[in-house]
Amino acid sequence: MNKFLVLIAFLLTTIVNAQETTGSIAGKLTDREMNGEALPFANVTIKGTSKGTTSDYDGLYVLDKLEPGTYTVVFSFIGYETLEIPNVQVVAGKVTEINTDLGSSAAALEEVVITTVSRRDSEVALLLEQKGAIDIKESIGSQELAKLGVSDAATATTKISGVTSSQASGDIYVRGLGDRYLYTTMNGLPIPSDDIERKNIDLELFPTRIVQSIGISKTYSPRYSADQASGNVDISSRALTGTEEFSAGIRAGVNTNVLKDGVFDNFKSSPNMNDVDFGFYTRSMSTQEAVANQSWNTQTTDLPINYRYQLNAGKKFGEKFKVLFSGSQSREFQYQTGVFKEFLQNNRENEFTDATTYQQTYNTTALVDLGYEFNDNNNVRALSLFIDKTSDIVYEAGRNGEGFTQDETNPNEGYSQFIRDQNIKNTQLWVNQIFGEHKLSEKNEFTWGVGANLVNADEPNRIRNEVNFREDGVILGRTGGLQQRKTNQQLEDQEINARLNDELKIFEKEDTTSLTINVGGNFRNKQRDFASVFIGLDENNPNNPLTAQSIDNLGEVLNADNIRNSRLRVTGDDVDAFEYDRYKADLTSAAGYVTANYSIDKFNINVGARYQRDELEVDYDVKNINPNRGTSSKAYDNIYPSLNVRYAVNDNSNIRIAASKTITLPEFKEISPFEYVNPRGQATRGNVDLEASTAYNFDLKYEFFPSSSELLSVTGFYKQIEDPIQKALTTGSSGVFSYFNTSDKAEVYGVEFDADINVFDLEKSGELDFNVNVTRMWHEQDLRDVYNEDGDLVRTFKYSDKTTSELQGASDWIFNAALNYTTDWEKKLSANLSANYASDKIFSLGSSTNARDYQNFYSDEIIEKGFVSMNAVLTQQLSDNWVLRFTGKNLLNPDIERTQNIRPVNNEERTETVNSYNLGVTLNLGVSFTF
């Protein structure tokens, strides 16, 4: 911990700015004599230098690697007037866009559009980057995010082809592969997860206000960790653009589900909200104290209206030092209700027709970015990002008197079951990064980065009640223990990471032949300390049960008086010492790599290899297994090769081929046998025998750029995954899930189509753009039998009549589409309509409770049904400083539904809806002011 704090102090006292040392001028030339059509083969030069280029077939040009300064740009074409534009500012790490036309008479300067934006902000710059990139990569910048009205990084990724999200799990899927197969970085350095249940951080924590661009590399590069199979998501954070910035904004909105009668005026919250001030949770008492001294009843929140306010401020001091601050806080309310059923071995275990969730979330973010440029060849940058997320969740099921839980009471008693789970989740994430870029010579550039991260993801006081009730009163649950309990769960991750890269240009000839070598390495060490304690109240004399008058006043019997008079006793994890379930985990990953990039004529060949050693160790002390103490250790030592080939068919199109080998490591919680129970009562436990899986990846892509802002592409891909990891029911258990290598091999292959088209661009009517991407996938895995050393069958992942299965979380079809319209008015109006669809997918694999008779003793797979979501954004510029924005999210408000086929003995198979709800429509109106 001391080393961690020392490194944090070093990060905060170092002034930095890892910008590129050169800038670019780019844009599009049009022909005034041909009504604004693209002007190819025009000359673009820097006056007084030999630096120049020509526009391509679509009028697109770029002058790259320009030293910062002021230039005169000259545009010329045979038979046309020459246009000189003086005082063009080039800024390091930025793109100065000059869009103009040429004709038989010179253009007036006011007809020339000049903008300077971050290299990763500009749509034109990002397309240029994609066009010339070595690997298969797609990015979306802040300009386009603003146009789409996207509010967070998670939503932003779904605008990229082959990417979708699951409403059921919250995971992002790339080409059908979910959370475990992705790797997330920020500015090229790994960032930790905020959730014990996930490998990657919740991208909803990143408001697009602090995002410069988001890129997904769908093919593997040795520069990044090999712990991926579907891609790497990299978030580029914002830095100050220009010399100063100051803006503020506020918005307010509602969710239509929350506006319903009986919800808006009775929005339930847990008593933990009494410990939340200004969006921050501060614990007031221990779990032991809370059992007797804190209420077990819900309370209500007044005026459940969504809001957000934000502030951005930045300034450049002198010629070398830049500072940017960006901060915001939001509060959002959600309400959903629907069906929840659970079947085990085709028999009903639980059924609730009114499973209801009330959730309110505070999200506070603050980013500080500091920069210092020593000289043209040496730059450093430092940033610190703090995120605090506090969510209060009240889950209820059975209030309508129709709740059923297997074996809870005798049906003759006439009781139904009611469950309430009140939980506050508090996540604090602190990411600190330093980067440096040093141009050692014209042919040698050295870059480095160091990061230190801290995560506290706690459930400090979860309140659980399971009771039986009828009109004449409420009695406490009888089956099992700890049915009236309070839980404290704490998770702390500390991480240090680093990267370095040395790029050496061996040669670069004028005939486009070049060879560049990159040598580098990465290091990551993550340590986790996890603890959980359950403390409950049980009746001392069940034959004389305590009776409450209402399910809304369980505190009538669950109180300190009944503990003192011995009607109740405190039970739980070693009551005398209140010992916690614990595990401590350590991940150390060290790697070195080398890549060679050879260009000749129209070919670009990049070949590389990464040596990576990963060591995982989990020491656990938990009470749900025997023996309860142990160590789970894993070590993987491999070379991961990659090949990327790009063939430039012409100036406007490329053919790309990629191949690689990667690994998917188990997560800490997947190899620790601690058992976590979700609000619906489903338990998940880690598996100490789980092993990593290996993936072989192949891609073939054709891309065509009709213009500087248009793209058409088609991609075919194939993945073979050995020993895939998936979640399934434990054989012989009563509804306990765990993680297994469910098969020997899985295959995923498919086709992606992406089109970004300018429908029209008229001087008086404005611009209309259309983007659509479609993915069709096929995926299958064999289902494994597991034998012991004596050759006896001990487990099978086959079920019903299935010896193969589709992959968990993978959809056959994915559609994303967006229509954008922007006027040419002095005060611009822009409108965006976007839609997403992912077809049916497996939410949870089926499983058997009898390895030798899996055809009859099984639970079938659970399917998440496909649905269409639609969002709209309308933005009106009121003046040079004021902007008004309206957003509508989830406009179609589809039912989100999961189904399962049930076949009871001697009965026909039927399809049951095991979970259903909708999210409501969220409407927001906001205004922002820029000074």
| Residues 581-614 pLDDT 10s | 899 999 999 999 999 999 888 899 999 999 999 9
Q: What is the pLDDT of residues 231-256, one digit of tens each?
A: 888 888 888 877 888 999 999 999 99
Question: Residue 544 corresponds to which tokens in the numbers above?
Answer: 């004389």
**String of b and e for 596-632 (b: at least 16 CB within 10 Å)?**
ebebeeeebbbbbbbbbebebbbebbbeeeeeeeeeb
pLDDT of residue 587: 95
pLDDT of residue 880: 84
pLDDT at 920 over 60: yes
Query: Cα-atom radius of gyration of the chain, to the nearest Å?
Result: 30
Which H or E run includes 564? Answer: helix 560-564
pLDDT average, residue stretch 172-186: 81
If pLDDT is split at 50, 70 and 90, which confidence band does 1 have? Answer: very low
Measure the CA–CA gap between 7 and 3, rounded to whole angstroms: 6
Q: What is the pLDDT of residues 46-82, one digit of tens each?
A: 998 878 888 876 677 888 878 888 999 999 887 778 8
Tracing tokens 């020491």 back to the chain, one arrives at 619
Which H or E run includes 4? Answer: helix 2-12
pLDDT at 89 over 70: yes
Measure the CA–CA gap between 224 and 189, rounded to whole angstroms: 9
SS3 121: coil
pLDDT at 12 over 50: no
* Cα 452 to Cα 3, 314, 326, 859, distances in angstroms: 10, 24, 20, 44
Percent of the chain with pLDDT over 70: 88
Domains of the chain: 21-118 (2.60.40.1120), 125-238 (2.170.130.10)
Question: Residue 424 corresponds to which tokens in the numbers above?
Answer: 């506050």
C-alpha torsion sign, points 237, 238, 239, 241 = positive
pLDDT of residue 908: 84
Measure the CA–CA gap between 460 and 271, rounded to whole angstroms: 12
The residue among 400 and 349 whose pLDDT is bigger is 400
pLDDT at 16 over 50: no
Question: Residue 344 corresponds to which tokens in the numbers above?
Answer: 């085990």
pLDDT of residue 299: 96
Most confident of 19-23, 308-312, 815-819: 308-312
3-class secondary structure per residue, 882-896: EEEEEEEECCCCCCE
pLDDT of residue 9: 43
pLDDT of residue 13: 40
Most confident of 11-25, 141-155, 282-296: 282-296
Q: Are 39 and 29 in contact (CB under 8 A)?
A: yes
How big is the CA angle at 107 (ends 103 and 112), to the nearest 5 degrees? 115
Average pLDDT, the chain: 85
* Cα 740 to Cα 54, 101, 854, distances in angstroms: 57, 62, 17
pLDDT average, residue stretch 786-807: 88
pLDDT average, residue stretch 915-923: 95
Beta carbons within 10 angstroms of residue 826's beta carbon? 7
Our measurement of the distance from residue 574's CA atom to the centroid of its chain's CA atoms, rounded to an integer in Å, reads: 38
pLDDT average, residue stretch 317-327: 91
Can you list the alpha helix ranges (DSSP code H) found in 149-297? Answer: 153-157, 287-293
Residue 275: CB partners within 8 Å, gap ≥ 6?
A: 281, 282, 283, 284
Tracing tokens 């506006």 back to the chain, one arrives at 259
Q: What is the pLDDT of residues 834-856, one digit of tens each?
A: 888 989 998 888 888 788 888 88
pLDDT at 491 over 70: yes
If pLDDT is split at 50, 70 and 90, which confidence band does 385 have? Answer: very high
Q: What are the φ and ψ backbone dihedral angles of 500, each rounded to 5 degrees?
A: -150, 150
pLDDT of residue 105: 61
Q: Are 23 and 92 in contact (CB under 8 A)?
A: yes
pLDDT at 148 over 70: no
Q: Are 830 and 823 in contact (CB under 8 A)?
A: yes
pLDDT at 144 over 60: yes
**What is the amino acid identity at position 732?**
G
The residue among 400 and 676 whose pLDDT is bigger is 400
- The 8-class DSSP code of residue 511 comes to T
pLDDT of residue 641: 96
The residue among 18 and 361 whose pLDDT is bigger is 361
If pLDDT is split at 50, 70 and 90, which confidence band does 573 have? Answer: low
Can you list the alpha helix ranges (DSSP code H) found in 120-204? Answer: 123-132, 142-148, 153-157
pLDDT at 707 over 60: yes
Question: Residue 675 corresponds to which tokens in the numbers above?
Answer: 């058992």
Question: Residue 742 corresponds to which tokens in the numbers above?
Answer: 């469910």
pLDDT of residue 571: 81
If pLDDT is split at 50, 70 and 90, which confidence band does 524 have? Answer: very high
pLDDT of residue 657: 93
Question: Residue 882 corresponds to which tokens in the numbers above?
Answer: 């004021």
pLDDT of residue 94: 77
pLDDT at 129 over 70: no
The residue among 721 and 288 whose pLDDT is bigger is 721
pLDDT of residue 18: 35
pLDDT at 116 over 70: no
Percent of the chain with pLDDT over 90: 43
pLDDT of residue 104: 67
pLDDT average, residue stretch 482-489: 88
Question: Residue 622 corresponds to which tokens in the numbers above?
Answer: 């938990």
